Structure formats: structure tokens, C-alpha cells
Amino acid sequence: MMKTRAFRYLWVGQALANGGDVFFIAAVIAATYEWTHSPFMMSIIPVVMTFSRFVSSVLAPLILDRFHLKNLLFHSQMLKTVLMGVTAVILFNGLGNIPFLFLLVGSVAFLDGWALPARNSFVPSIVRREDLMGANGFLSTIDQAVQFSAWAVGGILVSFAGEGWTIVLSGAIFLASSFMMYSLPMYGAGIPLKKSRELNPAGEMAEGWAEIWKSSKLRNIFIIYATESAATAVWAAAILYVYTDQQLGKGVEWWGFINSAFFIGLIGAGVMLLKTHRLFSANIYKWLPSALICTSVATLLFGFTGIAALSLVFSIIFGFFDGLKVILLQTAVQHIVSPEKLRKVFAVQGAVTTLLFGIFTLAAGFFSGKFGVVPVFAVSAVLLMIAVIPANKLKTEIMDN
């Protein structure tokens, strides 16, 4: 099923979209610095993106009930194409309007906030249940590989072609992604749309939360999501920059090495699950506590080591088990939740993880400035170990049933 035309359109389209996103952000960061020469203004960009994705995830249920998943994916990419055109006009004309540029950044991030739950909900419609983990592993591998390579390529593009032409290329990529999304079969949507008289905004926004609350399995999964989102904030690029300087005493190139090592670990997890998904599919809940323990230990060792080479090893290990954990959780949700509720549950997941990651990234930045990075990584390791408790409860409940 992973070799079907529908799945091929989905992964190629999403890979293009991810590449377009990276090129867009690379160009915006470069333009912001060129116009303002202010590191503070550059730091606002991820804050704007996080806030926009959170708001979008909260409002996503209102959109998910009104459009088929295929149409949501298609229109999100078409709207991004339009936004790239507007951004290109600003850059080519040298307008230097930072607030409007940030508004465009927020708009692109807003579209991502409901496109991702739509994609994750679409996958079970075109992939057999027994192949879900392999499909998730494959998509994760593609996502991380594109992220890993697109940042390097984006930097080169901005350097040689300039911000404006990089945005033009992003627009062309989003247009190609739109074509792929348009080519998806409508049957992948799977769920009939509600009629207007059936729509209740408050009820729609609460539907995903209600589904989680009434299922003890989902409650445990979302406790894990919440805890690990808070814990992994220390792995944000800004915190790693401080770690590289304070703990390792190395230059900015080692910051890049550590980020690259993390991505290598993520890609490795996706590749392994793609090859061995049948084994892991039968033992999702047994592997989850082990993955969390390994991320906790890797975080603790990473935070305390002052040896640069070891930091790369621990970064790869963390990335590998973090990638494994993410795919296991996503597949578990796809197995537990009915197709008609899946999009709402993934919308809640997006809201919870985005909000907590953003808050705890700011907290980690504040406390690392006050007390250094080592205590912050130690707290992160403790939180990841705490997440093992609901993971074990989930495993026990599944085995008892």
C-alpha cells in the first residue's frame, strides 16, 4: 500500500512543502537581519511561528469539519503559493516592512497548523493498518531528510541568489506541492462533511478533547505528549547554541554539528522503522517506555558532558530514540482513534505540543541564563523519566485487554 499512487502523491507533495517552508524561513531570516541588524528581531520569528501554529491548531476543528482532507491539503499549499508571491513583491521592492513580513510568516505557520493534522489523519485512509508504522516511519524519514538538506541548500540559495529569488523558488515548490495534493483521491477523505445545521463551533473545538478524556489509553498518550514536549524544549536550537558555548566552549560550527547529529538520529529511526515496522507494530506499547528511558539517559549524559565528540554521539542517540518515540505515539493514536475522530485528536495534539514546547523553550532560555545549561538538561531528563509512568500504564492496559 505504501507503493500506491495516492501515497506517492502524498509523500512527494509533503516533501516539497517542507522544502518550501525551509527556503521561505531562510529567506525571511536573512531579510530581517539585513533590514534590522537585530538578533532580537530575528528571535521574534520562531515566536510568531509557534504562536500562529498554536492558534491554528486550536481552531483546526472548525476547519476540519467543513472541508475534505484532500481539499485542506490542496488549499493550504495554494494559499502558501499566493503568500510567496506577496513576500517576493516586498523583497524585490525593498520595502523593509518588518511587521508585514512577520504577518506573512505567521500566515504560513497558521496554514501548517491545520495541514499537519490533516496529513496525519489522511494516512490511515490510503495505507493498510499493518503498514501504518512503516508509512509513518517513511514520512518521518522524508521530513527529516528534507529539513536536514533544505537548510544547507537554503543558506546557499540566499547567499548566491538573494532573498527574493529564494522566495520565488519557494512559491514554485508550493505550486508543485499543490498539484500533488490535488491529485490525491477524494476517497482518502473518508469522512462525510457535516451539514451547516449540525455545526456547533464550541462543540467542534471540544470534540477532540472529549475523545481524549473518555479514553484512558488516549489520556496516557497525551500525558506523554505533554511531558515530553516540555522536556524536549532544551533541544531547541537556541538552547543548543548556549550549550555549545558554555558547556563545550566551542564555536558556532559545533552548534551546527550537534543539530546535524540530532537530525541523523531522527532519520535513522525512520529508516529502521520503515525496514522493521511489522516487528514494532506488534509491540508498540512495549517499546514506548524503553524509548523514553533512552531519551532521558541521552539527555542527561549530553547535558553533563564537556567532551565535544561525545556530545555528538549523545545527540545522535537522543535523535534516534526521540524519532522512535514520536512515530510510536503517532501510530498508537491512529490505531486507537476512529477515522471520524482522528483529525480532531491530531488537532489537539498539535495545540498541546506547540504551546508547551514554546512555553518551555522560553523557560529553558531564562533558567539557562540564570543557572547554566547543565541544570536545565537535568530537569529535562527527569521529565522524560516521569513520562515513563503513563507509558507503563498504557502498556499494562493494552496487555490486560
Q: What is the pLDDT of residues 379-388, one digit of tens each?
A: 999 999 999 9
* Least confident piece of the model among 190-199, 205-214, 285-294, 307-316: 190-199
Q: 49 is written with which cell numbers?
A: 511561528
pLDDT in tens, 14-68: 999 999 998 998 888 888 878 887 767 776 888 888 889 989 988 888 887 777 8
Give me the mean pLDDT over the 274-295 stretch.
Answer: 84
Cα–Cα distance between 87 and 108 in angstroms, integer?
A: 11
In the chain, the percentage of residues whose pLDDT exceeds 90 is 39
Question: What's the CA gap between 104 and 99, in Å, rounded?
Answer: 9
Give the span between the Cα atoms of 275 and 294, in whole angstroms: 21
DSSP state at residue 187: G
pLDDT confidence of residue 401? 66
Q: Are 137 and 271 in contact (CB under 8 A)?
A: yes
Average predicted confidence (pLDDT) for the chain: 86
Strand, helix or coil for residue 335: helix
pLDDT computed for residue 197 by the predictor: 47
pLDDT value, residue 378: 96
CATH label, 1-198, candidates 3.30.365.10, 1.20.1250.20, 1.10.1760.20, 1.10.3720.10: 1.20.1250.20
Asked if the model's pLDDT at residue 94 lies above 80, the reply is no
Is residue 182 within 8 A of residue 12, CB to CB? The reply is no
What pLDDT sits at residue 288?
Answer: 92
pLDDT digit string (tens) for 338-374? 887 888 898 899 889 988 988 888 888 888 888 888 9
Average pLDDT over residues 177-203: 67
Grid cell, residue 166, equals 529564494
What mean pLDDT is predicted for residues 287-310?
95
Print burial letters for 214-224: b (CB count within 10 Å at least 16), e (below 16): ebebbebbbbb
Is residue 2 over pLDDT 80? no
> Tell me, what's the pLDDT at 189?
44
Residue 193: pLDDT over 70: no
Residue range 96-115, pLDDT digits in tens: 688 999 999 999 999 988 88
Given this chain, do its domains 1-198 and 200-401 carry the same CATH topology?
Answer: yes
The confidence score (pLDDT) of residue 190 equals: 46
List the chain domain ranges: 1-198, 200-401
The x, y and z cell numbers of residue 361, run together, are: 523553550
- Phi-psi map region of 132: left, alpha, beta (phi>0 left; psi -120 to 50 alpha): alpha
> Cα(36)–Cα(85) distance, rounded to whole angstroms?
22
With H, G, I as helix, E, B as strand and everything else as coil, classify residue 200.
coil
Q: Say how far apart CA 299 and CA 315 lie, in whole Å.
A: 8
| Mean pLDDT value of segment 179-205 | 66
**112-137 pLDDT per residue, tens:** 888 888 888 888 888 888 888 888 88
DSSP 3: T
94: three-class secondary structure by DSSP? coil
| pLDDT score at 133 | 85
Residue 274 binned pLDDT confidence (cut-offs 50, 70, 90): confident
The per-type count for the chain, helices as H runs and strands as E runs, is 15, 0
Distance (Å) of CA 24 to CA 55, 265, 267: 21, 25, 23
Buried b (16+ CB within 10 A) or exposed e, 323-356: bbbbbbbbbbbbebbeeebbbbbbbbbbbbbbbb
Q: Between helices 216-231 and 373-386, what is the axis angle to 10°?
A: 170
Given CA atoms 248, 254, 255, 260 in this order, what sign does their dihedral have? negative
Which of 344, 67, 63 minimizes the C-alpha distance to 193? 67
* Exposed / middle / buried, residue 98 (Cβ in 10 Å: 0-12, 13-18, 19+): middle
Fold adopted by 200-401: Growth Hormone; Chain: A; (1.20.1250)
- Cα 211 from Cα 216, distance rounded (Å): 10
Asked if residue 188 lies in contact with residue 126, where contact means CB atoms within 8 angstroms, the answer is yes
Residue 232 in grid coordinates: 524536549
Over range 225-254, report the average pLDDT: 86
Report the b/e string of 272-297 with b at 16+ CB within 10 A: bbbeebeebbeebbebbbbbbbbbbb
- pLDDT band (50, 70, 90) for residue 188: very low
CA atoms of 130 and 282, how far apart (whole Å):
9
For position 151, what pLDDT does the model report? 77
DSSP for residue 66: T
75 closest CA partner among 124, 100, 112, 43: 112
Predicted local confidence at residue 388, as pLDDT: 96
Higher pLDDT, 125 or 3: 125
